[in-house]
Chain A
Amino acid sequence: GAVVSQHPSWVICKSGTSVKIECRSLDFQATTMFWYRQFPKQSLMLMATSNEGSKATYEQGVEKDKFLINHASLTLSTLTVTSAHPEDSSFYICSARDPGQNSPLHFGNGTRLTVT
């Protein structure tokens, strides 16, 4: 089945630094990927839609200059949290859809970001 790989699975960084999270579709090409953030005991919140070869579409309230998304190829999207602060500590998850008919979303295993 379709697999989405996310890396790293966890990262600890100091306040003010930037962190990059990678999301890869391993056995299919994903023209669109989605990035989510999840706080403890809460649901997934869609942050942005990443489109291959074009700018990402951000949800209302998500700072595009803080959460930089690059989708340079059909199998890779990256999310960079710039100038991270403790309040950015969260669980970040990416997903993609195999372009096959009726295909559901496939999710990465998430990245636990802790900003100290």
Chain B
Amino acid sequence: LAKTTQPISMDSYEGQEVNITCSHNNIATNDYITWYQQFPSQGPRFIIQGYKTKVTNEVASLFIPADRKSSTLSLPRVSLSDTAVYYCLVGDEGGYNDMRFGAGTRLTVKP
């Protein structure tokens, strides 16, 4: 079971790009990397998922180096509403190894 490590907290300002890195040194060959966002008193919400290289959707990009031992969630031009906790999870396709959460990164966006 791949363990993940993220910074506990990060601060940013509106309009800036925010990059949150997650370490997963013992990621397995079949593991995917998934990022979630959680606001207070709400369930986590899926942001993005990837296996290698780069994935981009309408809200974020996910960069995964060739060795896949880390990944970086990139949020372009953050706003105050992006203040939340961000979690990266690692697990295999269709399996259930990725349901255990790490500590997450608390992002605070300031005006």
Contact = CB atoms under 8 A, between A and B. Distances in A.
Contacts of A91: 41
A44 B45 CA distance: 13
Nearest to B32: A102
Contacts of A44: 44, 87, 101
6 contacts: A43-B87, A43-B102, A43-B104, A44-B44, A46-B99, A91-B41
Interface in B67-98: 85, 87, 89, 93-94, 96, 98
A110 B85 CA distance: 16
B103 interface: yes
Interface of B: 32, 34, 36, 41-46, 49, 85, 87, 89, 93-94, 96, 98-104
A36 B49 CA distance: 21
A33 to B, nearest CB: 10
B99 A43 contact: no
A104 B50 CA distance: 11
Nearest to B51: A102
Given A105-B46, A112-B41, 17 more contacts: A46-B99, A49-B96, A97-B96, A99-B94, A101-B94, A102-B32, A102-B49, A103-B94, A104-B34, A104-B49, A105-B34, A105-B89, A107-B36, A107-B43, A107-B45, A108-B43, A109-B42
Contacts of A67: none
Nearest to B48: A104
Contacts of B98: 105
A7 interface: no
